[in-house]
Amino acid sequence: MTDTPTGIILPEFNPFAIEFGGFGVRWYALAYIAGLLLGYYLLRREAGRPGAPMSVGQLDSLLNHVLLGIILGGRLGYVMFYNPAFFISNPLEIFKIWQGGMAFHGGLLGVTLAMILFARHHAIPVLKVSDRVSMVLPIGLFLGRLSNFINGELIGRVSEVPWAMVFPKSDGAPRHPSQLYEAGLEGLCLGLAMLIVVRRGWLDRPGRITGLMLTGYGLARYLVEFVREPDTHLGLLVGGLTMGQLLCLPMIAAGLYLLQYGRNQRQV
């Protein structure tokens, strides 16, 4: 007699949101698109506010910059942070982004560079740009983590909690639904926090919302990594921490600095 999983057994979801004969739009791509469009819609509304630093016309340029930063930064971040040896041996694999492999921290660096270039070109203070992008970022984080859950990727560690789940194409062990934890913390909770502080006028103190995003995401990701399965080829690193946790530490430090910096700024 063999033991059977006691967790919630999940069905195997179709990785395509829209499919045409084996081709189509995957859930992860749809999450990117939906997150960008919803964020763009909210930024258009903010651009109509008296004294807003960006015009509606400039938002099109910002959207293009951010999209390029996400794709290039996310892919190169994955290559450098998570699997450099493989890609050094197989350099052409770097360009096969449709096979998966994107890193949030790399995407963050890519978007940061993109915002700096955009801000310089349009003579806008970069923190005013980053505050507005940070304000809508939880939308994309929430949708992205839901797509991770649908795809059965980035699964949690083996657990006996009542809500542990058995993911398709896994080893059959019940595991933490770590994607849902991240969707709740990085998406819903951080998004609610953004709504509250925007209504309290934080957009008028450059740097505070960017600091909140960096600190909030960094702490949420750091905590969830304790129940998220480490990358097989990396495992646990310095001090028993994962690569994701190590990358979150400078992010949290930068966020705390910007929170204090923004607090000391005059309202603009």
> Which DSSP string corresponds to 41-59?
HHHHHHHTSTT-SS-HHHH
Per-residue pLDDT at 24 = 75
Mean pLDDT of 33-49: 91
pLDDT band, residue 1 (cuts 50/70/90): very low
Tens of pLDDT, residue by residue over 200-229, are: 999 999 999 999 999 999 999 999 999 999
More confident site: 139 or 235: 139
Task: Note whether 72 and 214 are within 8 A (CB).
Answer: no
Per-residue pLDDT at 103 = 86
Is the pLDDT score of 2 beyond 60? no
More confident site: 174 or 98: 174
Q: Cα(120)–Cα(212) distance, rounded to whole angstroms?
A: 23
Give the pTM.
0.89
Per-residue pLDDT at 104 = 87
Task: Note whether 13 and 2 are within 8 A (CB).
Answer: no
Q: Cα(79)–Cα(163) distance, rounded to whole angstroms?
A: 33
Per-residue pLDDT at 209 = 97
Neighbours of 113 (CB within 10 A): 15
Is the pLDDT score of 48 beyond 90? no
Domain spans in the chain, listed from the N-terminal domain onward: 12-263
Q: Cα(248)–Cα(215) distance, rounded to whole angstroms?
A: 9
More confident site: 2 or 42: 42
pLDDT band, residue 266 (cuts 50/70/90): low
The share of the chain scoring above pLDDT 90, in percent, equals 65
Is the pLDDT score of 267 beyond 70? no
Tens of pLDDT, residue by residue over 239-263, are: 999 999 999 999 999 999 999 998 8
Mean pLDDT of 7-13: 90
> Which DSSP string corresponds to 90-122?
-GGGGG-GGG----HHHHHHHHHHHHHHHHHHH
Three-state DSSP string of 181-245: HHHHHHHHHHHHHHHHHHHCCHHHCCCHHHHHHHHHHHHHHHHHCCCECCCCCCCCCHHHCCHHH
